[in-house]
């Protein structure tokens, strides 16, 4: 008899006076606040003026959110979001237009991690221009905290029964009842566990070698680790959009390759002359 876990949690945690509190938004928030406290610890550990830290959270929050949203719309569904007026508005605002002409608040349905990474990199560049801090120092500190946020984001996907895996007969398969009744790989859980392991590795490296590793190492290691595992986990995940079915590699894999190459450069070649 095939063992599997039937998975069908209510995405809504609680409804307060008509305001829906969903697991998805809550876990995203927890992930961002974890990163906030981890980076704050590093600022204090490095004795950096705390006044320089305060604006950082806002740059990171809006950089990740805007980048993740634009990334999903541009990489995965450009025909809808970039060719119609309604699609363009929905790309920018957390609403969905109804067939009868009305609209409803939905939150941002569709966020891409590759876009979030790009948005974060751009936001941190803007932050460093303003604060006069060294760009790579900030990227390294944020990289140490990033796996914690990534873990909670993938747990949010699990609670939403989205980014599901392909059908399988492994004993730990999940039946995502909101999708169908087939046992599937829990792709979100695979990624979440991978990122949680990376978080502990990062903390150990920072504690033991933080003062000796060259600038850019943590940033490069974070990119290389996350997107290498992301590339291989994609093989057991369902494609997010129909157009990916005809591709040799899916969109997530193609987008992961340049991040891995950038990560390798910063791990082994950046700052070598110095």
Rounded to a whole number of angstroms, the CA Rg of the chain reads 20
Q: Which residue do the tokens 């995502």 mark? A: 176
Whether the CB-CB separation of 122 and 67 falls below 8 Å is answered with yes
What average pLDDT is seen over the chain? 88
Closest CA to 233 of 262, 200, 191: 191
Separation CA 138–CA 151 (nearest Å): 21
Whether the CB-CB separation of 110 and 159 falls below 8 Å is answered with no
Give residue-wise pLDDT tens across range 161-200: 988 999 999 999 999 999 999 999 999 999 999 999 999 9
- Encode burial over 128-161: b for 16+ CB neighbours within 10 A, e otherwise: beebebebbbbbbbbbbbbbbbbbbbbbbbbbbb
pLDDT of the residue at 1: 40
Whether the CB-CB separation of 71 and 115 falls below 8 Å is answered with yes
DSSP 155: H
pLDDT of the residue at 135: 93
pTM for the structure as a whole = 0.84
């Amino acid at each position: 008899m095939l063992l599997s876990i039937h998975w069908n949690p209510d995405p809504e945690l609680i409804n307060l006076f008509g305001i829906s509190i969903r697991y998805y938004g809550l876990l995203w928030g927890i992930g961002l606040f974890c990163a906030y406290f981890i980076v704050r610890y590093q600022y204090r550990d490095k004795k950096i003026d705390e006044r320089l830290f305060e604006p950082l959270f806002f740059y990171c929050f809006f950089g990740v959110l805007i980048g993740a949203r634009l990334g999903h719309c541009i990489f995965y569904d450009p025909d809808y979001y970039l060719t119609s007026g309604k699609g363009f508005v929905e790309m920018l605002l957390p609403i969905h237009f109804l067939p009868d002409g009305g609209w409803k608040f939905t939150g941002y349905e569709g966020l891409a991690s590759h876009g979030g990474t790009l948005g974060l990199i751009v936001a941190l560049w803007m932050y460093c221009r303003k604060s006069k801090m060294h760009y790579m120092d900030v990227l390294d500190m944020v990289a140490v905290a990033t796996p914690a946020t990534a873990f909670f984001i993938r747990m949010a996907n699990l609670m939403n029964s989205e980014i599901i895996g392909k059908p399988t007969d492994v004993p730990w398969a999940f039946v995502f009842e909101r999708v169908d009744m087939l046992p599937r790989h829990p792709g979100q859980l695979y990624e979440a566990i991978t990122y949680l392991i990376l978080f502990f590795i990062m903390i150990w490296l920072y504690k033991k070698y933080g003062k000796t590793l060259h600038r850019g190492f943590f940033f490069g290691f974070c990119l290389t680790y996350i997107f290498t595992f992301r590339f291989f986990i994609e093989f057991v995940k369902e494609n997010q959009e129909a157009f990916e079915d005809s591709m040799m590699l899916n969109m997530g894999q193609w987008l992961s390759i340049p991040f891995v190459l950038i990560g390798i450069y910063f791990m082994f070649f950046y700052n070598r002359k110095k």
